[in-house]
C-alpha cells in the first residue's frame, strides 16, 4: 500500500517541474509568435477602408474596426509586437546597467557608496517623469522611449544584486580565493557571476512587464512613439476620442491584450523562479 501511495505521490511531484517548464515554454512561444507575426502582417487590412468603419467585433473583424475602417485585431497585434520589442530592449539595457553597477559595488567602499547613492537618486524620481524627460531629450520616437525606460528600471535589480554580492563577498570561499592570490576581477567573474545568474535572469524577465506598461503609458500621454506607429499607447489614446460615441471595442480589446501580455511575462518570471530557486529545487 505504501509503495502505491508513494508512486502516486511521485507522479504528482514529477509533474511540477515538467508543468513549470511547459508553462514557460508555451508562454514564451506565444510571445515569440506575436513578435514574429507582427513583422509579416499583411498591411492591406490596416489601410484606410471607409465603408467598413466603426464596426463592432465580429468573426471577420475579431476586435472590430476603427473610424477609418482599419482592422483593430491586426493593429493590436502589430502594436503588441512593437511593445514587446521595446520592452525587450529596455529590460536588456536595464539589466546590463544593474549587473555592471552591482559588480562595481563589490570593488571598494567608495564605489559602493556611489552606487548606493545612484540607486537612491534614480528611485526617488518618479519613473514616468524621468522617462518623459529622457525620451524628449533624445528626440522621442522608439529610440527615446527604449533608452528612457532602460535607464529607469535598473534600480530594483541593482539593489538586489548589490545585497547578494555583499553577502557572497563575506563568505569564506571568497576570502579563501583572495588568500590564494586571485584578483577581484577574477573573483567577480568566477565566483560572483555564476551565483547571481539566477537573480539576473529572473530580474530581467520581471522588468519586462514594467517596461511594457511604461512604454504604453508614455506613448499614451503623447511623449513616446510617434502617432503614425501602431503602438498600443497610440491606439489607446486615439480611441479615447471615440469612446463617447459608443465604440468601446477600440479601447477594450487592445487594453485587455496588453494586460494579458504583461501577465504572461509575470507568469514566466514566477515559474522560472520556482525552477531556479534552490530552496524548492527538489519539490
Partner 1 sequence: MQEKLLEVSNISISFLQYSAGLRQSNLKVISDLTLDISSGEIVAVLGSSGSGKSLLAHSILGILPSNASLSGKMTYLGKDLNQKRKEKIRGDEIALIPQSVNYLDPLMKVSNQVIGECENEEDKKSKLLKQREIFEKYGLSKEVDDMYPFQLSGGMARRVLVSTALISNPKLVIADEPTPGLDEKSVEETLNHLRQMAQDNVGVLLITHDIDAALSVADKIAIFYAGYVIEIANVEDFSGNGENLIHPYTKALYNALPQTDFKLTTGHQPLHGELPPGCPYFERCDNPTEKCSNNLPILTEISDKKVRCYRANEFKNNNVAIKEESSDELHHTDEIGSFEELNYSEKLDYIEEKDSSKEAGV
Partner 2 sequence: MKLQGENISFKYPSSKEYIIKDLNISLKSNEIKGIVGDSGCGKSTLCKILSGYNKSEGKITIDGIENNAKNKFNPIQLIFQHPELTMNPKWKMKDILFESWDVDSELIEEFGIQKSWLNRWPNELSGGELQRFSVLRALSPKTKFLICDEITTMLDAVTQVQIWDLVTKIAKDRNIGLLVVSHDKALVERICDDVIYFDEINQSNLKEL
- Using CB under 8 A, list all residues that contact partner 1: 2, 6, 9-10, 13-14, 17-18, 21, 281-283
Residue 18's binding partner out of partner 2, partner 1, none, with CB under 5 to 8 Å set by partner kind = partner 1
- The residues, ordered by sequence, that sit 6+ positions from 48 with a Cβ below 8 Å of its Cβ are 68, 69, 70
State the minimum distance, in angstroms, from the CB of residue 267 to partner 1. Answer: 20
Q: Are 208 and 85 in contact (CB under 8 A)?
A: no
Residue 10's binding partner out of partner 2, partner 1, none, with CB under 5 to 8 Å set by partner kind = partner 1
State the minimum distance, in angstroms, from the CB of residue 197 to partner 2. Answer: 8
Q: What angle do CA 253, 68, 61 make, to 5 degrees?
A: 45
State the minimum distance, in angstroms, from the CB of residue 67 to partner 2. Answer: 57
State the minimum distance, in angstroms, from the CB of residue 12 to partner 1. Answer: 11
CB closer to partner 1, 9 vs 186: 9
- The residues, ordered by sequence, that sit 6+ positions from 156 with a Cβ below 8 Å of its Cβ are 123, 203
First to last CA, the chain: 22
Three cell numbers written together for 182: 586571485
Three cell numbers written together for 273: 523562479
Residue 182's SS3 state is coil
CA distance 233 to 220: 4
Note the residue count of the chain.
283
49 DSSP 8-state letter: -
Q: What are phi and psi of 71, to 5 degrees?
A: -70, 120
Is residue 121 exposed (0-12), middle (13-18) or buried (19+ Cβ within 10 Å)? Answer: exposed
Residue 182's binding partner out of partner 1, partner 2, none, with CB under 5 to 8 Å set by partner kind = partner 2
CB closer to partner 2, 51 vs 181: 181
CB closer to partner 2, 51 vs 278: 278
- The residues, ordered by sequence, that sit 6+ positions from 269 with a Cβ below 8 Å of its Cβ are 202, 205, 206, 208
CB closer to partner 2, 1 vs 180: 180
State the minimum distance, in angstroms, from the CB of residue 202 to partner 2. Answer: 16
CB closer to partner 1, 15 vs 167: 15
Residues at the interface with partner 2 (CB under 8 A): 171-173, 175-177, 179-183, 191, 194-195, 278
State the minimum distance, in angstroms, from the CB of residue 6 to partner 1. Answer: 5
State the minimum distance, in angstroms, from the CB of residue 171 to partner 2. Answer: 7
Residue 191's binding partner out of partner 2, partner 1, none, with CB under 5 to 8 Å set by partner kind = partner 2
How would you label 138-163 residue by residue, b for 16+ Cβ within 10 Å and e otherwise? eebebebbbbbbbbbbbbbbbbbbbe
CB closer to partner 1, 6 vs 114: 6
CB closer to partner 1, 13 vs 175: 13
Amino acid at each position: 500500500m505504501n509503495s502505491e501511495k508513494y508512486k502516486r505521490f511521485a507522479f504528482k511531484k514529477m509533474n511540477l517541474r515538467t508543468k513549470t517548464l511547459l508553462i514557460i515554454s508555451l508562454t514564451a512561444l506565444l510571445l515569440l509568435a506575436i513578435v514574429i507575426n507582427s513583422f509579416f502582417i499583411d498591411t492591406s487590412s490596416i489601410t484606410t477602408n471607409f465603408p467598413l468603419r466603426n464596426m463592432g467585433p465580429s468573426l471577420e473583424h475579431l476586435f472590430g474596426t476603427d473610424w477609418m475602417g482599419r482592422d483593430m485585431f491586426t493593429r493590436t497585434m502589430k502594436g503588441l509586437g512593437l511593445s514587446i520589442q521595446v520592452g525587450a530592449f529596455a529590460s536588456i539595457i536595464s539589466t546590463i546597467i544593474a549587473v555592471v553597477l552591482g559588480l562595481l559595488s563589490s570593488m571598494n567602499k567608495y564605489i559602493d557608496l556611489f552606487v548606493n547613492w545612484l540607486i537612491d537618486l534614480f528611485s526617488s524620481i518618479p519613473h514616468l517623469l524621468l522617462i518623459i524627460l529622457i525620451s524628449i531629450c533624445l528626440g522621442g520616437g522608439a529610440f527615446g522611449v527604449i533608452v528612457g525606460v532602460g535607464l529607469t528600471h535598473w534600480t530594483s535589480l541593482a539593489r538586489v544584486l548589490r545585497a547578494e554580492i555583499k553577502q557572497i563577498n563575506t563568505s569564506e570561499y571568497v576570502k579563501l580565493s583572495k588568500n590564494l592570490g586571485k584578483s577581484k576581477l577574477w573573483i567577480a567573474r568566477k565566483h560572483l557571476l555564476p551565483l547571481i545568474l539566477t537573480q539576473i535572469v529572473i530580474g530581467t524577465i520581471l522588468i519586462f512587464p514594467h517596461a511594457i506598461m511604461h512604454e504604453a503609458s508614455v506613448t499614451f500621454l503623447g511623449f513616446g512613439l510617434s502617432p503614425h506607429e501602431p503602438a498600443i499607447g497610440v491606439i489607446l489614446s486615439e480611441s479615447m476620442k471615440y469612446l463617447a460615441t459608443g465604440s468601446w471595442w477600440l479601447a477594450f480589446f487592445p487594453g485587455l491584450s496588453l494586460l494579458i501580455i504583461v501577465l504572461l511575462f509575470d507568469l514566466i518570471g514566477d515559474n522560472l523562479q520556482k525552477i531556479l530557486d534552490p530552496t524548492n529545487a527538489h519539490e
